[in-house]
Structure 1
């Protein structure tokens, strides 16, 4: 059993690795070799990566792929995607190509408001608290001028601050609920800095407010923090075409495909067990682009899934309909993204990804990311309602299985050809590669 270690963070990178491999691995040389083979030979670049987080011992690679041929609002994009799951990039590319000849994707940003809150406890008369807030609100905003000056020059800043009574949920619990516009920055640091100043001014001014009793003056700030739930930072993406144009020479008519597709979406709208998997597929596309562009996919995931449950029941993020012979498929989704700040100016591949996307503004990136999610969902539902999901996915997964068996290039060539006409499964690949090796 390993023992705790004091001062680990103060050790050099080399010493950290020595302790880890000696404590946890039987073959220390092999473990070291695995860790070091992912180091970048460019020392300056490696140092940059080392300093992104704490206690760095190596790099963890994900493939960066691209999905071309996305026609979005009349402009062609090739979308970068960082993801480890096979078939995601291929599915996005296939959906892009399908819609290229049917008018492409149409998008619009509905709103870009972001939220932050000061959570506090107040033991006293709410009417007095409300009077105090109304009087002190201008000073709260004024005291943040040093923080908001540059943001305001660019057209952003604090939109509004509200006092919210949450005592029906928790005794004596209130909020300062603030809305912000952060333009091309995701804005987390900006918002949190503003909130902490709000809290300081609010507490300080309470100490001298003449209507408060001594107890009421002792406002207890619990925390000041932005919210990753951004239901008013919304973007819409959609595709539409005549029902007969959905045919594309497949074995199913456009009318039959549209009917089955809409039914599949309707099921995801009412059945949470289906909706979770349905939305996971959407996030395959969204997370991959969010990660490639240096944004926080965990924040996006949390906010998106909260939005999917906003009506009290978890439901589909996408919707579909057929009206007057026109098939329409769309998504409305909250995406708080940035194209300046954070990793966007530091990580070389993030810079490259943003340049690949024509150096988008935050609003443009919202639209591109929403399209990636919609395309991914269209590709998945198209497979599910026609050939089934496994046929395409397992063929894409074939190479991963072959690599598990350490197949040679010649074996890969032979077995890839064999599985063009056979169902791919782990056991089927195992059997086929064993037979091939016996023959050899």
Structure 2
């Protein structure tokens, strides 16, 4: 669709009599699509968040979560990393379906700075005992044409998603971004993200060192409360050869 639209603007530089005297410098479409806005939203009674934060009651967790999102709305330094996390989820689905993740990111970051200050794309509020969390993001995606149906992996990805329409794919991708953001902020206001990062780091090292299933199980238990490093994991495997 993008190629077709680009061809159109290049071959039709003047549209009305009033425009015929204008000098055409270039003809190019824009990846900024604020009129193609998608919202993903979730809400629930605050009390249903019981257990979401270890050692916290539901109200404390909800308030800490909302404050963390509010910080990302106010502080550009936090907003950049906050939104980067959202795109961790979004980009995965965009790439898997052979859409242009660079265009999606560029448009999303522009929207985040639409009022002159870079802000978080997601927002959160607690009102009348209800926890509400939502994400607004401009998305212009396709499921027909280009590589979306030609590339076997992109085609398979769309099949796994139930062969969604373009509009449905935009909804799926926005919801993925919101879910990822919830998981990240939840970690930040409870255990911290390092715990999850270290678990992933441990698995990467174990795979690199070609650990077997038994060694992996033992390593996960052993490093549950210890610092993970390449040397430490290598030494552990040498002591636990099967």
Shared topology, TM-score over 0.5?
Answer: yes
Give the Cα separation in 1 of the matches to 2:236 and 2:49: 42
The structure whose residues are more often strand, as a share, is 1
For residues 16-27 of structure 1, what are the structure 2 equivalents within 5 Å? none
Give the Cα separation in 1 of the matches to 2:227 and 2:85: 21
Larger Rg: 1
The answer on 1:222 being equivalent to 2:36 is no
Partner of 1:242: 45
For residues 177-192 of structure 1, what are the structure 2 equivalents within 5 Å? 187-192=1-6
For residues 78-89 of structure 1, what are the structure 2 equivalents within 5 Å? none
The structure whose residues are more often helix, as a share, is 2
For residues 169-180 of structure 1, what are the structure 2 equivalents within 5 Å? none
Distance apart, 1:431 and its partner CA: 2.1
The answer on 1:198 being equivalent to 2:15 is no
Alignment partner of 1:340: what SS?
A: coil
Give the Cα separation in 1 of the matches to 2:186 and 2:41: 16
| Structure 1 gap ranges (5+) | 1-186, 207-216
- Equivalent position to 2:177, from 344, 354, 373: 373
The answer on whether the counterparts of 2:201 and 2:228 sit within 8 Å (CA) in structure 1 is no
Partner of 1:305: 109
- Equivalent position to 1:430, from 231, 235, 238: 231
Give the Cα separation in 2 of the matches to 1:296 and 1:435: 43
Give the Cα separation in 1 of the matches to 2:163 and 2:201: 33
The answer on 1:319 being equivalent to 2:133 is no
Partner of 1:263: 67
TM-score (norm 1): 0.51
TM-score (norm 2): 0.91
Q: Deviations over 1:116-152 (max 9, x none)?
A: xxxxxxxxxxxxxxxxxxxxxxxxxxxxxxxxxxxxx
Distance apart, 1:200 and its partner CA: 5.8
Moved over 6 A (4+): none
What is the aligned length? 238
Distance apart, 1:392 and its partner CA: 1.8
The answer on whether the counterparts of 1:278 and 1:316 sit within 8 Å (CA) in structure 2 is yes
Q: Deviations over 1:44-103 (max 9, x none)?
A: xxxxxxxxxxxxxxxxxxxxxxxxxxxxxxxxxxxxxxxxxxxxxxxxxxxxxxxxxxxx
Alignment partner of 1:344: what SS?
A: coil
| Structure 2 gap ranges (5+) | none
The answer on whether the counterparts of 2:206 and 2:216 sit within 8 Å (CA) in structure 1 is yes
Closer, same or farther in 2 for the Cα pair 1:435/1:365, shift >3 Å?
closer
Alignment partner of 1:320: what SS?
A: strand
